[in-house]
């Protein structure tokens, strides 16, 4: 348990840094994990060079899904959209630093799925963008 609920997970869940909404924003996408009822929306602002200048997420979910969303958005600050497109499952697992079974993996990867679907601009068919999510 101590592994699964590392201090950073609990801390980010309780006090997320990137929770909120950006209005207006350049990219907005939302999706849910129907199994848990978790729901995440990500808003991005992109500067003239195509880099992420601001990011925020909203919605609700378990500690794993919320903390990984917060850590994920922190990691893409200032990154180009091309770099964001390259993010994968391992990057998120590195960020949260825990091993997850298949059920909780979906919680951790929901935000990545939403982010990539938003950046690729493909509503509704985001399943194929993140392996395992």
Partner 1 sequence: MPNQFRADFPVLSREVRKGVPLVYLDSTATSQKPQSVIEAMDRYYQAHNANIHRGVHTLAEEATAMYEGARERIASFIGAASSREVIYTRNTTESINLVAFSWGRKFLKPGDTVILTEMEHHSNLVPWQMLAAELNVRLEFIPVDANYLLDLNVYADLLKLGPKLVSFTHMSNVLGTINPARQIIEMAHQAGALTLVDGAQSVPHFKVNVAELGADFMAFSAHKMLGPTGIGILWGKENLLESMPPFLGGGDMIKKVLLRSFQANDLPHKFEAGTPAIAEAIGFGAAVDYLNQAGMDRIEAHEREITGYALERLAEIPGLSVYGPALEHKGGVVAFTMENVHPHDVAQILDTEGVAVRAGHHCAMPLHQKLNLPATTRASFYLYSTQEEVDRLAAGLGSVIKMFG
Print the binding letters for residues 1-20 with partner 1: x by CB under 8 A, - otherwise: x--xx----x--xx------
Residue with tokens 């959209």: 81
Toward partner 1, which CB reaches closer, 22 or 61? Answer: 61
Nearest distance, CB of residue 121 and partner 1, angstroms: 27
Strand 27-33 with 52-60, pairing: unpaired
- Asked if 63 is part of the footprint of partner 1 (rule: CB under 8 A), the reply reads yes
Residue 103 C-beta: closest distance to partner 1, Å: 8
Nearer to partner 1, 32 or 74 (CB): 32
For residue 60, the tally of other CB atoms under 10 A from its CB is 12
DSSP string, 28-74: EEEEEETTTTEEEEEEEEE-TTSBEEEEEEEEE--HHHHHHHHHHHH
Q: Rounded to whole angstroms, what are the CA distances from 14 to 9, 64, 70, 80, 101?
A: 9, 11, 11, 29, 23
Interface size with partner 1, residues (CB under 8 A): 18
Q: Any contact of residue 93 with partner 1 (CB under 8 A)?
A: no
Q: How far is the CB of 88 from partner 1 (least distance, A)?
A: 23
Site residues (CB under 8 A) for partner 1, limited to 21-50: 35-39
Sheet containing strand 38-46, edge to edge, reads 27-33, 38-46, 52-60
Residues engaged in binding partner 1 (CB under 8 A): 1, 4-5, 10, 13-14, 35-39, 60-64, 104, 107
């Amino acid at each position: 348990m101590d592994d699964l609920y590392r201090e950073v997970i609990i801390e980010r869940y309780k006090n997320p840094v990137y929770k909120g909404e950006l209005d207006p924003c350049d990219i907005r996408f939302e999706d849910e994990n129907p199994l848990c009822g978790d729901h995440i929306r990500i808003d991005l602002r992109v500067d003239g060079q195509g880099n992420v200048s601001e990011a925020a997420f909203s919605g609700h979910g378990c500690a794993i899904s919320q903390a990984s969303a917060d850590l994920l958005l922190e990691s893409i600050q200032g990154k180009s959209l091309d770099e964001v497109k390259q993010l994968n499952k391992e990057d998120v697992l590195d960020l949260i630093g825990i091993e997850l079974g298949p059920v909780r993996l979906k919680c951790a990867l929901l935000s990545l799925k939403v982010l990539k679907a938003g950046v690729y601009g493909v509503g509704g068919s985001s399943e194929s963008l993140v392996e395992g999510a």
